[in-house]
Structure 1
Amino acid sequence: MIANRKMTISIHDDPPILICADLQTEYLTEGRSHVISDAEAITSRCLELMTVWRSNLWPVMHLKRIAQAAWFNPASNLTDWIAELKPRPGELAFEHPLPSAYSSSRFAEYMANMRDIRCVLCGFSLDETILSTVVDGFHRSHRYQVVSDAVACRRPGVGEAASYKLAVVKVIGNYARVQASTDLIGASGKIAV
């Protein structure tokens, strides 16, 4: 478990921002087309990462997809945060209408005003929010890192979910560093960013 590890960063480095993407009940609700089959394992890993970041008082940011499409009704409670993963007071939260978080003018402005920012991404919507945000960030010279065992995508229309996720992660690897949580947080307790 990574939650019990104490991590240190050089005094000259700013800690990376943990960005939690689309941790909404839509992805846990059985019978929905966006349900994620390994959601329990992913939410557990995201909670562990949040615990590490929060215990070190490092910045945590949350993204919430609020689309206008019929399949993602913003009036529904399906867009609510997963209870144990919702933002705490003092943590930034951004709503974005399109897949990329940069479709939120507040998020884009925030990121544009940050210097030497490093972001670690976890959460749902790997094939939409995470992929498009990483690509948009890459073109803005923002550094992203995706935690491969703390991300998931909805069930694909065809093929096996694991191979689909692997293909998406490979594409993301062209724009961001991809690491497992055990590699991100080494045995020494230092974070590798």
Structure 2
Amino acid sequence: MTVIQFPRHTEDLGTPLFVFLDLQQEYISDGRAYALSGRDPWWSNSLRLLDFARDRGLPVAHFRQLRREPFFNRATPFAEWIEEFRPRPHEMVFERSHPSCYSNDSFSTLLDSLSSPFFLLAGLTCESNCLSTIFDAHHRGHKTTLVSDASASKALGDHDEREVHEIVAEIAGLFCDVTSTSQIVSRYTGRKPSLAG
């Protein structure tokens, strides 16, 4: 019996929107309730991913939380961007007060206007903001990829940030692709910018 090997089909979803979530001072300011204890590897990988997208003219969107309470309050410096991740004038900026990116109507409208909505997600924090966005994307039939090493999670109970993040990445993998910064850079090197799809 002869076995014919067909080439494996890999779905090309086009160029993704690079989404950077809540890279704000609240998460890196010592003594603040939401401050993360570490910056590696999420900081360097988020910066690498952002630089990669910018260098190639790929579409970039930034999200930040703004709330009417002591944390993430617009009137405080803690709601401001981490300087290294400050959006450039031509990049998209979305604000919201709830965890999911879909709570911003303009973002939902943008994705609904695309024939094949697809975005990469990196940033803070995965146990709430990233997961809720991934769940909402899944229910809408939108494709998402979590860049796990360009993201971080807060500690929960007896579990430290690293442990929580590993568990969250496994949960996310049930609803979307989970990958690394290096894999994204390799996959999209040479890709032409486009949000059409």
Q: Which category describes the TM-score, using the shorter chain as reference length? A: 0.7 to 0.9
What code does the residue aligned with 1:138 have?
H
Match of 1:120 in 2: 120
When the two chains are superposed, the root-mean-square deviation of aligned CA atoms in Å is: 2.0
Change (3 A) 1:73 1:157: farther
57-66 vs 156-165, which moves further: 156-165
- C-alpha separation between the residues in 2 aligned to 1:21 and 1:137? 15
Paired residues of 1:27 and 1:39 also in contact (CA < 8 A): no
Percent of pairs with identical residues: 28
Taking structure 2 as the reference length, the TM-score comes to 0.84
Match of 2:71 in 1: 71
60-69 vs 172-181, which moves further: 60-69
- C-alpha separation between the residues in 1 aligned to 2:131 and 2:115? 22
Paired residues of 2:26 and 2:71 also in contact (CA < 8 A): no
Larger radius of gyration: 2
Taking structure 1 as the reference length, the TM-score comes to 0.85
Q: Return the offset for 1:75.
A: 1.8
Mind listing any 5+ residue stretches in structure 1 that lack a counterpart? 1-11
- How many positions carry a matched residue from both structures? 180
Superposed, which structure 2 residues align to 1:172-183 within 5 Å? 172-183=172-183
Deviations 1:133-152 (A, max 9, x none): 11101111110001111000
SS at match of 2:186: coil
Q: Does 1:107 align with 2:107?
A: yes
Change (3 A) 1:121 1:188: closer
Match of 1:138 in 2: 138
- C-alpha separation between the residues in 2 aligned to 1:71 and 1:158? 23
- C-alpha separation between the residues in 1 aligned to 2:186 and 2:62? 24
What code does the residue aligned with 2:174 have?
N
Match of 2:62 in 1: 62
Paired residues of 2:71 and 2:78 also in contact (CA < 8 A): no
What code does the residue aligned with 2:148 have?
S
Q: Return the offset for 1:39.
A: 2.1
- C-alpha separation between the residues in 1 aligned to 2:45 and 2:186? 15
Match of 2:170 in 1: 170
- C-alpha separation between the residues in 2 aligned to 1:143 and 1:69? 33
Deviations 1:14-72 (A, max 9, x none): 42111000000100001112111222531221111111111111100011111234433
Match of 2:31 in 1: 31
- C-alpha separation between the residues in 2 aligned to 1:189 and 1:155? 34
What code does the residue aligned with 1:176 have?
C
Change (3 A) 1:174 1:190: farther
